[in-house]
Chains A and B, each alone.
Chain A
Amino acid sequence: MEIIKTAKLTKYYGKARGIVDLDLAVAQGEFFGFIGPNGAGKSTTIRTLLGLIAPSSGSALVFGKDITKEKEAILRNIGYLPSEAVFYPGMKVRDVLKLSADLRRKDCAAESKLLCERLQLDSSRKIEELSFGNRKKVGIVCAFQHRPDLLVLDEPTSGLDPLMQKEFFDILCERNRDGATIFLSSHILSEIQRNCTRAAIIRDGRIIACDRVEALSKTSAKRITVHGRVDLAQLSGIRDRKETKDSVSFLYSGEIGSLLNTLSAGRVEDLTITEPDLDEIFLHYYAKEGETV
């Protein structure tokens, strides 16, 4: 069953573009990544799915329910972590968590306590005393404490220290194993690469690629780094060439045979050939038509 399914989902803010003709499908139990730079339409997509804003055209189903007609039923099973978690000032952390649970008409006290312990969040503190990272933790507990079937996370790790990021992803993976579907929006590619099974790349409001993460990272190109002296002038299929004093590094998508011939003609001290990482692929996807990366 598809947990999220959008069809030509479009949102314009007046004349300004939000998202255009977005077709997205996330299956049950998937750990889905949503990658794109700032302003590409990630948050617009999420806000539309959550019913904060109404689509200009197109449609979207979450849990097979229409986002405009059955918003409350959908939200009941969603945990949402906004990129910037803001809460009511003057309230204690535990009051906020209680309020969130009460608004869901659910008793989440046990789960909330567990999460606070794992994230080392002191629930007796006041919201305005908290650092950005600690406020984020409150957001995490609010999103997780009712054990939702779908977790929508917008830039979840900003503000968290590396240890907390690890704990956060541990919890996330546990939930995923227990059957929850994860929709993770991020511009940190390593996060997506490490955790997600599938991902979509969004640019200028449109999905430009959507596939398994390995497939997205897999192109015929290799990252070649050569220490020594070689003459690459005759070699075609080179991109993203970076040179230092005694080494050269480039993305190569030409024939391996001619690469080896060229290298053997030069004086090579050291050589590494690796798969390009998602960052490099990402730049490739983001290179606008006519530009080279």
Chain B
Amino acid sequence: MTLVKHELRQGKTSFLIWTASVGFLLAICIFLFPEMKGQMEGVTDLFASMGSFTEAFGMDRLNFGTLTGFYAVECGNILGLGGAFYAALCAIAILSKEEKEKTAEFLLTHPVSRRRIVTEKLIAVFIQITAMNLIIYALAVGSIAAIGETIPWKELSLMHLAFTLLQLELAGICVGLSAFLCKGSVGIGLGAAVMMYFLNLIANISDAAGFLKYITPFGYCEGADIITNGSLDGVLVSIGAVVGICGIVIAYLKYTKKDIH
């Protein structure tokens, strides 16, 4: 577990900054809710009549006047994008950074198998993503309690679980990509996250593009669906799990055979 510890130490600053930023924005959002609640009657109608824009964010099916509805849209976007960015950044660099920073020669000439390196690095990514989500979940619960609202345990937990799964899937994909890269990779990671996000918006707007839900992990993170159904969409989550695992398998296959320069 030497490498896990090493990775966690190396990623500490980035972890703290991202967790603090996303957590802070999320808390602010929650603290805005009491102020907005009173004005929400009109807003919900307004938001519900903005056509495609409304559909894109699922606001046709959510009530902005309730905490869950508000949380699903506002906070969902912050946690969805912020978390996805962090997961993508974290995972896309995990293997490729050794070559980019030229530390691969140091690491890979130690008696540690490539398979073990991938495994320990994956564990480190998993720990970082899970820890970030736990901290943010705790912050969300705390903030909701602080504004005196009843905590919607089930909806809240399901939403956070969905976003954690999203980040893990995205991380799996990015680790797979990472095994092929040996230079700068941040752009590719962020690009993948943004693309997935927009695919979901498109899927929401157009029925013809509805199949996109099966591709992007944001498909199973849709707050409107989670709240309406009271559960995650098992099919979408399963597809996501398969995709994420595929990324990881590809990472193993590629990295164990890769020529390191």
Contacts and interface: CB of A to CB of B under 8 A. Distances in A.
Interface stretch (B105-113, B129-137, B140-148, B208-216): B105-113
The range of chain B's interface size is 20 to 34
Interface residues of A, number: 29
Contacts of B112: 72, 103
A52 B109 contact: yes
Contacts of B104: 52
Interface stretch (A78-86, A193-201, A217-225): A78-86
Contacts of A78: 109
A132 interface: no
A103 B2 contact: yes
B228 interface: no
B259 A54 contact: yes
B260 A100 contact: no
A99 interface: yes
B158 interface: no
Nearest to B113: A72
Nearest to B98: A88
A169 interface: no
A75 B259 contact: no
Nearest to B105: A82
Contacts of A52: 104-105, 108-109, 259-260
A90 B101 CA distance: 13
Given A86-B106, A103-B2, A53 B260 contact: yes
A235 interface: no
Contacts of A71: 113
A52 B102 CA distance: 13
Contact of B10 (A54, A88, A104): A88
Contacts of A86: 101-103, 105-106
A84 B102 contact: yes
Given A53-B259, A99-B6, A80 B101 contact: no
B109 A80 contact: yes
A103 B110 contact: yes
A19 to B, nearest CB: 13
Centre residue among B2, B103, B261 by max chain A CB count within 10 A: B2
A50 B2 contact: no
A94 B101 CA distance: 20
B103 A88 contact: yes
Contacts of A240: none
Interface of A: 13, 47, 50-54, 71-76, 78, 80, 82, 84-90, 99-100, 102-104, 142
Given A86-B105, A99-B6, A142-B106, 8 more contacts: A50-B108, A76-B111, A80-B109, A82-B106, A88-B10, A103-B2, A103-B110, A104-B111
9 cross-chain pairs, A with B, having the tightest CB-CB distances, nearest first: A103-B110, A75-B111, A76-B111, A86-B102, A53-B259, A102-B2, A52-B260, A72-B111, A80-B109
Interface of B: 2-3, 6, 10, 101-113, 257, 259-261
